[in-house]
């Protein structure tokens, strides 16, 4: 079988390599020529994915995986075309699905009878079927080709593990025959099997709801944490105890919700609501987007404890990426934290193990690899490197000992024993 995967990014490249490794003849399609060039040389550009280097190298070498920028040729050559390009929303929640429609138009120029088109990118429910008129520009009618949605239930860092069988694959298709074919396709790579859904739209909703569940629950954690601050309680102490019974899954409060998934998927529901009013989901977005501001408030509070105004202080922001271990900046809380600290007149430095001086400049901060003359350390990304910070050493270097731990990764008692003013969302005493 020849499979074309459109989008060779953090999700598309692992998927393409896994299908090739299971014997399919895979054509990867990307608009980024550097990506195409690297893949054809057997190189992997998704550095955060353990095992992907070898998987790409071996399958390119053995001729099962190749890449091209020519999406029409790929469609002509392939039996199955999988769309795994970005599906985003802007800060006001307007959907940005151009990449999906661009790919659909290219596929239409190469679609042949009996082909199957699968969307794996997370889709606002109904979007996959909105591609039908575009695909029918091929001259074929739906039924002469199959259409399905099979969302990627994984995350960067565990993509190969998840694609090959951490959770069952969700599939919805345009007709029984297509459903059967697509189930067969994913059963070859996913040992956890497939959950067939009653429709394409139902399958799209599964993935979107998983993300909305997470965003709303993070907002609940943040709201309860703010309440704990008011009442002199330690939110995490309470959440950890509450979560010891199986009906409570309080998430982690923190600096905010970044990435191109969790802060985006709620807009897929909000933007499609005509009669209902998803006010819980909208409010959750507002709460989560207010957390970077709260981190700045905690920084002001911490500096007050040492008699320093934020204005003129040296603040070191640890972390630029939206979460630990992934070099991805989409809607990273660090963007707003740095911007507001500067508005208050602080001098803002930054360090991130996955970034460099160029990235720091783009964020408007100064790159700094030590702790000299720092008045406050603000952690906004949970990189594992920050979990092992040598606080004894740092206590000697900083000018003032203030830590705002926006990702709850340090031990408060240890920091306080070393004379730090330690604050985190949900614990300000």
Ligand X SMILES: CC(=O)N[C@@H]1[C@@H](OP(=O)(O)OP(=O)(O)OC[C@H]2O[C@@H](n3ccc(=O)[nH]c3=O)[C@H](O)[C@@H]2O)O[C@H](CO)[C@@H](O)[C@@H]1O
Ligand Y SMILES: NC(=O)c1ccc[n+]([C@@H]2O[C@H](COP(=O)([O-])OP(=O)(O)OC[C@H]3O[C@@H](n4cnc5c(N)ncnc54)[C@H](O)[C@@H]3O)[C@@H](O)[C@H]2O)c1
Which residues form the interface with ligand X (CB under 6 A)? 122, 153-156, 211, 214, 218, 251-252, 254, 257-259, 261-262, 322-323
Among 3, 4, 5, 7, binds ligand Y (CB under 6 A): 7
Q: Does 258 bind ligand Y (CB under 6 A)?
A: no
Judged by beta carbon, residue 211 or residue 266, the one nearer ligand X is 211
Q: Which two tokens stand for residue 204?
A: 């799209």
Contacts 24+ apart (CB under 8 A), 371-374: 371/316, 371/397, 371/398, 372/397, 372/398, 372/399, 373/314, 373/398, 373/399, 374/314, 374/315, 374/316, 374/349, 374/398, 374/399, 374/400
The secondary structure element, H or E, covering residue 172 is strand 169-173
Nearest residue relative to ligand X (C-beta): 261
Residue 45, binding choice from ligand X, ligand Y, none, Cβ under 5 to 8 Å by partner class: none
Q: Alpha-carbon distance 77 to 56, whole Å?
A: 21
CA separation, residue 272 to residues 94, 108, 148, 287 (Å): 11, 26, 20, 21
Among 6, 145, 239, 363, binds ligand Y (CB under 6 A): 6
Q: Does 8 bind ligand Y (CB under 6 A)?
A: yes
**SS3 (DSSP) at 26:** strand
Nearest approach, Cβ of 262 to ligand X (angstroms)?
Answer: 4
Pick the stretch among 5-13, 217-225, 273-281, 386-394 that binds ligand Y (CB under 6 A).
5-13
Nearest approach, Cβ of 210 to ligand X (angstroms)?
Answer: 7
Residue 87, binding choice from ligand X, ligand Y, none, Cβ under 5 to 8 Å by partner class: ligand Y
Q: Does 263 bind ligand Y (CB under 6 A)?
A: no
Judge whether 248 counts as a catalytic residue.
no
Which of 19, 15, 58, 53 lies closest to 162 in space, CA to CA?
A: 15
Q: Does 75 bind ligand Y (CB under 6 A)?
A: no
Nearest approach, Cβ of 264 to ligand Y (angstroms)?
Answer: 7
373: alpha, beta or left? (left if phi > 0; alpha if psi -120 to 50): left
Residue 84, binding choice from ligand Y, ligand X, none, Cβ under 5 to 8 Å by partner class: ligand Y
Q: Does 206 bind ligand Y (CB under 6 A)?
A: no
Judged by beta carbon, residue 259 or residue 302, the one nearer ligand X is 259
Q: CA-based angle 363:368:369, to the nearest 5?
A: 130
- Which stretches of 188-256 are DSSP H helices? 200-230, 235-242
Judge whether 228 counts as a catalytic residue.
no
Q: CA-based angle 221:222:228, to the nearest 5?
A: 90
**Are the CB atoms for 1 and 77 separated by under 8 Å?**
no
Q: Does 267 bind ligand Y (CB under 6 A)?
A: no
Residue 85, binding choice from ligand Y, ligand X, none, Cβ under 5 to 8 Å by partner class: ligand Y
Q: Alpha-carbon distance 115 to 239, whole Å?
A: 50
Q: Alpha-carbon distance 126 to 379, whole Å?
A: 39
**SS3 (DSSP) at 111:** coil
Nearest approach, Cβ of 237 to ligand Y (angstroms)?
Answer: 30
Interface with ligand Y in residues 146-165 (CB under 6 A)? 152, 154-156
Judged by beta carbon, residue 12 or residue 426, the one nearer ligand Y is 12
Nearest approach, Cβ of 118 to ligand Y (angstroms)?
Answer: 13
Q: Does 11 bind ligand Y (CB under 6 A)?
A: yes
Q: Find where tokens 């897929």 sit.
A: 268
Exactly one of 10, 261, 331, 355 is catalytic; name it: 261
Interface ranges with ligand Y (CB under 6 A):
6-12, 29-32, 35, 84-87, 99, 102-103, 121-122, 152, 154-156, 260-261
Q: Annotated active-site positions, please?
A: 207, 261
């Amino acid at each position: 079988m020849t499979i074309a995967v459109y989008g060779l990014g953090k999700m598309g490249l692992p998927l393409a390599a896994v299908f090739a490794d299971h014997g399919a003849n895979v054509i990867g399609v990307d608009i980024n020529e550097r990506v195409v060039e690297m893949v054809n040389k057997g190189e992997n550009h998704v550095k955060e994915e353990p095992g992907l280097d070898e998987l790409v190298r071996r399958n390119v070498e053995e001729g099962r995986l190749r890449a091209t920028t020519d999406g029409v040729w790929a469609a002509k050559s392939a039996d199955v075309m999988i769309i795994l390009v970005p599906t985003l929303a802007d800060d006001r929640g307007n959907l940005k699905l151009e990449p999906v429609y661009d790919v659909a138009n290219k596929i239409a120029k190469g679609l042949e009878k009996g082909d199957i088109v699968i969307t794996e990118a997370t889709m606002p429910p109904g979007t996959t079927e909105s591609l039908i008129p575009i695909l029918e520009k091929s001259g074929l009618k739906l039924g002469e080709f199959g259409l399905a949605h099979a969302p990627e239930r994984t995350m960067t860092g565990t993509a190969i593990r998840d694609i090959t069988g951490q959770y069952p694959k969700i599939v919805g298709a345009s007709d029984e025959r297509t459903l059967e074919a697509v189930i067969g396709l994913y059963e070859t790579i996913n040992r956890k099997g497939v959950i067939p859904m009653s429709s394409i739209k139902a399958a799209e909703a599964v993935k979107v709801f998983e993300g909305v569940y997470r965003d709303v629950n993070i907002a609940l954690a943040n709201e309860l944490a703010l309440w704990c601050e008011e009442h002199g309680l330690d939110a995490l102490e309470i959440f950890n105890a509450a979560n010891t019974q199986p009906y409570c899954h309080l998430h982690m409060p923190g600096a905010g919700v970044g990435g191109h998934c969790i802060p985006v998927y709620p807009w897929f529901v909000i933007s499609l609501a005509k009669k209902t009013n998803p006010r819980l989901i909208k409010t959750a977005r507002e709460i989560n987007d207010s957390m970077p501001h709260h981190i700045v408030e905690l920084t002001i509070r911490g500096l007050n404890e040492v008699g320093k105004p934020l204005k003129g202080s040296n603040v070191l922001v640890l972390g630029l990426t939206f979460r630990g271990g992934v070099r991805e900046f989409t809607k990273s809380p660090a963007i707003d934290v740095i911007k507001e600290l500067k508005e208050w007149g602080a001098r803002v430095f930054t360090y991130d193990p996955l970034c460099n001086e160029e990235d720091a400049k783009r964020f408007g901060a100064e790159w700094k690899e030590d702790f000299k003359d720092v008045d406050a350390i603000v952690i906004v990304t949970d990189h594992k490197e920050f979990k092992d910070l040598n606080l004894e050493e740092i206590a000697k270097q900083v000018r003032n000992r203030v830590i705002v731990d926006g990702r709850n990764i340090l031990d408060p008692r240890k920091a306080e024993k070393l004379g730090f003013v330690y604050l985190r969302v949900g614990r300000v005493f």
